[in-house]
Amino acid sequence: MKQDAADRAAAALAEARWSGTTIAAFAPDCRPASVEDGYQVQAAFRTQWKDQLAGWKIGATANPIMERFGVSEPFCGPFYKADVYDSPARPLALRFNHLVIETEFAYRLGTDLPARPAGYSRGEIMEAVDALIPAFELIDCRLAALPLDNAPAAIADCGLNGGMVLGPTIADWRGIDVPKHSVRLLVDGAVKGEGTGALALGDPRNVLDWVVNKLSKGGVGLQRGQIFSTGTCTGVVALEQGQTAVGDFGTLGKVEVRFE
């Protein structure tokens, strides 16, 4: 993809974000046609969007979702400080084109992980993590329809991220068996999804390993305080305005959101 085309696609996404509108589709002459094109547009968007980078979301961390997108590995996208909420969160529905959530385990870095070609080991990554956080990812899209079978478009649009809701910070997390830890998603008290950390690539730490090394080898350094959301444990759930969603992480606490 030519860089000027990637820049124009990124500008269309940025304008839609600023205005709170959608675009029907990318213009034919700047439409990402491959995963590589999607990441090129995403990189161009990061240079144009001026808010502080808060972290990274990782999507397609379950095999059925990879198959739906036609990819053989997950994908990642940035999220920004203005789009991070503390639980219980009450974001305005009018700020979102789609009211969709995922219940996820998130990790926070306590030290920097500078970009390097050699990559990082599991031990190095775990040593850099200082907290585990129950979270909701708020899925959103600047395209009129969620491109749930179009990986290039999803990647270009920050991996379809609209925001993040963070629950309690768990500093004493190293002894927790996250792959076996149960999570429930309730909407107005009714269970809408159940699962464990193992639904995210077998272990959320596998997701973290993947994204740290993908970004690092691509020249993207990671900084202390950044948060990494590792993929849904309870499926993708659409909400109506005014409904209250609770992610129940058992002994790790709860995370709550209601679009108002």
| Phi, psi of 3, deg, nearest 5 | -65, -35
At 146 the pLDDT is 85
Instruction: Compute the C-alpha angle 194/196/35, nearest 5°.
Output: 100
DSSP H or E stretch at residue 192: strand 190-196
The yes-or-no verdict on residue 46 having pLDDT over 90 is: yes
Residues 6+ apart with CB under 8 A from 193: 103, 184, 185, 234, 235, 237
Which tokens sit at 63?
Answer: 């095999």
At 193 the pLDDT is 96
Q: What is the pLDDT averaged over residues 87-99? A: 95
Taking CA atoms, 106 is separated from 27, 137, 233, in Å, by 35, 10, 11
pLDDT band at 62 (very low <50, low <70, confident <90, very high): confident
At 88 the pLDDT is 98
Structurally, at CATH architecture level, domain 3-258 sits in Alpha-Beta Complex (3.90)
pLDDT band at 15 (very low <50, low <70, confident <90, very high): very high
Full-model pTM: 0.94
How big is the chain, counted in residues? Answer: 260
DSSP class per residue in 49-105: --SPEEEEEEE--SHHHHHHHT-SS-EEEEEEGGGEEESSB---GGG-S--EEEEEE
At 221 the pLDDT is 94
DSSP state of 167: -
Query: For all residues of the chain together, what is the average pLDDT?
Result: 95
Which tokens sit at 159?
Answer: 């991996």
Q: What's the pLDDT tens digit per position in 104-134?
A: 999 999 999 999 989 999 999 999 999 999 9
Taking CA atoms, 161 is separated from 135, 138, 140, 165, 190, in Å, by 13, 6, 5, 12, 25
Contact 175/95 with Cβ under 8 angstroms? Answer: no
Q: What is the pLDDT averaged over residues 198-216? A: 96
Q: Domain segments of the chain: what residues?
A: 3-258
